[in-house]
Chains A and B, each alone.
Chain A
């Protein structure tokens, strides 16, 4: 994702601007708009490891890690003064009533819309939950309500980022907001009810035995054993292994077993 800075050019830097535009045209084949000075920052430049050829030519916003510092600089003060960043912005729209949603985003790929919104037009402004001064400009000082996008003029994508940053800052405690006076949820704190108090353990758990008696092997009565043996005479496997270890097999499967393995018949 490329990021851009658009600043109006004073006339004496035409030389520098024409050189730069030549550079840019060679790089990305873009025709810059006359009177506007475009600086394109490639994706690689934003990484921590900047390759040496690009380091000198394309500036990176120095406030990436500490966005709040920009709001103290001379440059910011001369540009905005004490007014919010969106104060001097005017949307371009047909008719008297502006559309109720601003544009979806100012920057698509490496292209910037005409008349970008107050945040997109200044590359050094980063929407971060830590730079409280910038976020406060988008909250009403009297009501604590976050301004809607058509009020400040920022694009919908930036509005979403600003809202998320404000909520995150409130969550971390950087921004103050009105906390309603809440009473405790419950009235009785004795914790005597069985749902939250201690219940005596079930006898099976207390004794350490298994929960259901049939979890453990229960030796069937002798009568049953004799009956089963009589029923499946000649087809049973050895009686030494307990029946639990084997998968229960149907009589047809028992017949498939080698006939020589028949148990000692009891009868």
Chain B
């Protein structure tokens, strides 16, 4: 059975390099790969409950937003030949991203401007303090759950009816919204009757506006704040308020809308340009930023920043993620040949595909010298 073959093979290899192991298995054995693909495709269509249920549809980008008719077929046919590209929602990817985000309790539970309450003081034993810290860590993990990264949604252009007899009777559009309380907002019918008599489905912007009017969400305004215009965004970035921008963006826009994606990309570009990675570290947006940078093959600045801050695990994980997403590049192939691990991985990457390879090597050297001098001293 192909399933047994797949599992047996995983057991025989060492799992020290998860990215490479997966890649190796994928490349060498086609039958188990296709089995996994078909499972993933079935998961996408919502038919099979075998895999772990993820909160967001696991394959929205490739197949979900297109017409439902061509979904499963195209995915299976195009991806069977080569390895499946890891998605943002994959477990391995999410593990790497959460580890890189870190968990600074002081930053997650920063004092926020809110109506004052009298302070509470508690006397705790060591054990109670530890339990309180554990609870705080759980709450922080909940807060650091990453917002979804999706492809841009397809515009809605469907005409339902064309009643020419109504032409000239009205002077404005009428929007009809289904206000049933218990249906999800994405299943809500919102149609617009134009003065020309055409009955069409409302566009995405109209939908969002109507749903916000009738079912207001906290933190969202009907018209987006003027903060998201170009000049104002630049002012905010200069004040290092990237986290505010992204939080407001998540509150205001839908994750697959064009505005959301554009604002996020602009923020990430600004951070990368000025190397302000610390602004987002230990927030829920760090994972999205890393994903964007790795997809754009622009991870040099982040690598250097991590090495300078002595976060070697994060640096190696970053390179591993890069290899997972671009398995056909020079760096991934060379690393696989040499079987590189840890610092060697970063060196291989710096030599092959990095734009600022020299700088990375210098920083690595400095780190190693500092490490050796520190160990010699102690």
Contacts and interface: CB of A to CB of B under 8 A. Distances in A.
A70 B95 CA distance: 53
B255 A189 contact: yes
A193 B251 contact: no
Interface stretch (A91-99, A199-207, A221-229): A199-207
A90 B371 CA distance: 64
Interface of B: 44, 46, 55-57, 60, 64-65, 67-68, 112-116, 143, 145, 147-148, 150, 153-154, 156, 158-165, 184-190, 201, 204, 207, 211, 217-220, 225-227, 232-233, 235-236, 239, 241, 244, 247-248, 250-251, 254-256
Interface in A197-235: 197-199, 201-202, 204-205, 210-212, 215
Contacts of B164: 210-211, 215
A174 interface: yes
Contacts of B254: 184-186
Interface string A141-182: 011110000000000000000000000000111101111111
B279 to A, nearest CB: 14
A100 interface: no
B114 A144 contact: yes
A173 B184 contact: no
Contacts of A171: 225-227
A47 B268 CA distance: 45
Contact of A188 (B57, B204, B244): B57
Given A143-B114, A143-B116, A182 B247 contact: yes
A191 B153 contact: yes
A179 B227 CA distance: 13
A205 B164 CA distance: 12
Closest 4 CB pairs of A and B: A144-B113, A182-B251, A173-B227, A190-B64
Given A182-B218, A205-B159, 12 more contacts: A176-B241, A181-B143, A184-B254, A186-B184, A188-B56, A188-B184, A189-B150, A190-B44, A192-B64, A196-B186, A196-B204, A211-B164
Contacts of A173: 225-227, 232-233, 235-236, 241
Contacts of B114: 143-144, 178
Given A143-B116, A187-B55, A211 B150 contact: no
A33 interface: no
Contact of B189 (A143, A188, A195): A195
B159 A201 contact: yes
Given A144-B114, A189-B255, A197-B68, A182 B220 contact: yes
A202 to B, nearest CB: 7
Interface residues of A, number: 39
A149 B60 CA distance: 52
> Per DSSP, are chain A's interface residues mostly helix, strand or loop, or mixed?
loop
B235 A198 contact: no
A195 B201 contact: yes
A44 B43 CA distance: 73
A179 B143 contact: no
B217 A190 contact: no
Contacts of A215: 164-165
Contacts of B218: 180, 182
Contacts of B211: 185
A253 B289 CA distance: 78
A187 B56 contact: yes
A153 to B, nearest CB: 22
Contacts of A184: 147-148, 250, 254-255
Given A180-B219, A186-B185, A197 B67 contact: yes
A12 B255 CA distance: 69
Contacts of A176: 239, 241, 244
Contacts of B220: 182, 185
16 contacts: A172-B226, A173-B232, A173-B235, A180-B218, A180-B219, A184-B254, A186-B185, A186-B254, A188-B56, A189-B64, A190-B44, A190-B65, A195-B188, A195-B190, A198-B68, A211-B162
A183 B22 CA distance: 32
A202 B156 contact: no
Given A195-B189, A196-B207, A189 B56 contact: yes
Most buried by A among B158, B217, B219, B250: B158
A178 B113 contact: yes
B57 A189 contact: yes
Contact of B161 (A186, A189, A192, A202): A202
B64 A191 contact: yes
Contacts of B150: 189
Contacts of B201: 195-196, 199
A174 B255 CA distance: 25
Contacts of B184: 186-188
A197 B254 CA distance: 16
A206 to B, nearest CB: 10
